[in-house]
Amino acid sequence: MTRKQRLQAAERLAAERILVLDGAMGTEIQRLKLTEEDYRGQRFADWAKPLQGNNDVLNLSRPDAVIKVHRAYFEAGADIVETNTFSATRIAQADYQMEDIAAEIASEGARLAREAADQVAEETGSPRFVAGAIGPTNRTLSISPDVEDPGFRAVSFDEVRETYAEQIEAMAPHVDFFLIETIFDTLNAKAAIKALIDLRASGAIEADIPVMLSGTITDASGRTLSGQTTEAFWNSVRHARPWAVGLNCALGGKELRQYVQEMSRVADTRVLAYPNAGLPNAMGEYDETPQETAGWIAGWARDGLVNIVGGCCGTTPEHIAAIAKAAAEGTPRTIPERPRAMRLSGLEPFELAS
């Protein structure tokens, strides 16, 4: 199938049922118990910096492991897998002195996900989709890293936009969607959105590749790290005309529900949500069982709050299998038509009706 045909299939399926996104790439990689030598492979055997923990470099050193994870999620019931490219930017790869191969990491990550999706689609006769994962980087544009200098920024907007543009262009030949995710700073997301708009306008990538956006409510305050409420976040990114918008990470299904419900109320596009497997324990691990996680998502599906569901930190193929079963028992959310109004946002939303 061509990308256009796959997108048409995704549109059709999304109208019929709740779509299923995959679970945590990092969790599955941890379960593989890979060593420093696995991360290095032959190509990076003499690399000056330790590489264990740089999951994205496995696209080059252990592509078999990456494909194995993608296939496990597809076989569990996922319609969409995310590329193993959460940190495949120059900014994030600088920690490993791999800035100059960040684009290669991104390109190969997208190609591997496409390969797995096409394999499973051929085997099952049903289309499978690839979302190019674009993480927030390890820099923030809205908050100073120096408490004694609130005006200081470790990176500029243009630098973030340029690093995202490189990642997006590298992934574009292989993906069906872009997914700008785990957005803790909306200004970072705006840099990614601007990069995408510029690449479309210049013809560097095909203009019909849709984008999905997923913010992160960091704690019980109900706000992103940069301070926005759910509705304010939506007002800030709505101009991107996303194929879907939603929330992921930081919280489990129990805690995330009220914010998913708020996004469902305000967003005039599809809503996606993929929570962690509960809250982390004292050791930073996740104890929520597949049935428990799926139980929360079943409530969202039953109440018509979501169009796409999946899992974030701590979730496994077993979680996704349970989530897929729960999603199948619900119906996709009806996208509302909201009355025309001027909607702005700072940390809080502002609406001026006509």
Q: Is 18 helix (H, G, I), strand (E, B) or coil?
A: coil
Q: Is 211 helix (H, G, I), strand (E, B) or coil?
A: strand
How is 97-146 classified by DSSP, letter by letter? Answer: T-GGGHHHHHHHHHHHHHHHHHHHHHHHSS--EEEEEE---S--SSS-S-
Helices vs. strands in the chain: H and E counts, helices first: 13, 10
- Give the residue from 180, 189, 93 showing the smallest Cα distance to 141: 189
Give the C-alpha separation, 275 to 260, whole Å: 10
Give the C-alpha separation, 189 to 233, whole Å: 10
Can you say whether residue 203 is alpha, beta or left, with left for phi > 0 and alpha for psi between -120 and 50 degrees?
left
Distances from the Cα of 344 to the Cα of 68, 79, 147, 228, 231, angstroms: 44, 34, 29, 12, 10
C-alpha dihedral, 343 to 194 to 139 to 236, nearest 10°: 10
Which strand ranges, in their side-by-side order, compose the sheet holding 270-276? 19-20, 308-309, 270-276, 244-252, 211-215, 177-183, 129-134, 80-82
- Tell me which amino acid residue 137 is: T
Give the C-alpha separation, 282 to 284, whole Å: 6
Q: Is residue 312 part of an annotated ligand binding site? A: yes
Q: What are phi and psi of 44, to 5 degrees?
A: -110, 25
CA angle 245, 250, 256 (to 5 degrees): 60
Q: Is residue 8 part of an annotated ligand binding site? A: no
Give the C-alpha separation, 246 to 337, whole Å: 17
Q: Which residues are annotated as a binding site?
A: 249, 312-313
Q: Which residues are annotated as a binding site for Zn(2+)?
A: 249, 312-313
